[in-house]
Amino acid sequence: MKKLFFRKIKSLPIIVLILFAILIFCGVTLVPIIYILLLQPVQINGKAMAPTLSDGSMHFILKGINNVNYVSRGDIIVYKSKTDSKIQYVHRIIGMPGDKILLKNSNIYINGEILEEAYLNQNVETNEDEFLKENQSITVPPDSYFVLGDNRKNSQDSRHTGFIPKENIVGKIWICYARCQ
């Protein structure tokens, strides 16, 4: 009986080493896969989404969402510029494919209903720009989105640049991990 007990104790370090090797292997292989396919860190540069996202804050985004119907109105997304794919922007989805958007008296109307934007500071005005004019309705095309920054005075969003193609979406802001407000 004693010999069997000592054999189990002698094999214990080998079992621990094997488990440790498995953990290291999983970490080395799974972390890059998760990074490439699912998560990506991003740093917010600028004040277009203030006060919701602060300048310099660090977030993880969920990637690959443009391949599934995963985004919805109100989601904050990271997307590539239509003119330079190396430049990325962060804005909130306001209009979904097929939505009719109207700017009237600094309020956004979606399909004839005023958009309640509890995330905005009080007295924030939404002004017209090149693409969205006061009292002129626009319709979001299929596979495109209309986005706005929460800091409307300091945001170059869909009012200026137009609709965001689905394929330009990099990911959806998920969680802040550094310099959070």
Looking up residue 163, the CATH number of its domain turns out to be: 2.10.109.10
Q: How many domains does the chain have?
A: 2
Quote the pLDDT of residue 7: 53
pLDDT score of 79 more than 90: yes
Question: Do residues 68 and 153 share a domain?
Answer: yes
Average the pLDDT over 108-112 and give the result: 97
Average the pLDDT over 106-111 and give the result: 96
pLDDT 10s digits, 52-78: 999 999 999 988 755 556 889 999 999
Range of the domain at 7: 1-37
Question: Do residues 107 and 155 share a domain?
Answer: yes
Question: Do residues 130 and 158 share a domain?
Answer: yes
Quote the pLDDT of residue 9: 55
Confidence of residue 6 (pLDDT cuts 50, 70, 90): very low
Q: What is the pTM of this model?
A: 0.81
> For residues 174 and 167, what is the distance between their CA atoms, to the nearest angstrom?
19
Cis amide bond preceding 51, omega within 30: yes
pLDDT 10s digits, 162-179: 999 999 999 999 999 999
Cβ contacts of 61 within 8 Å, gap of 6 or more: 39, 40, 41, 42, 78, 170, 171, 172, 173, 174
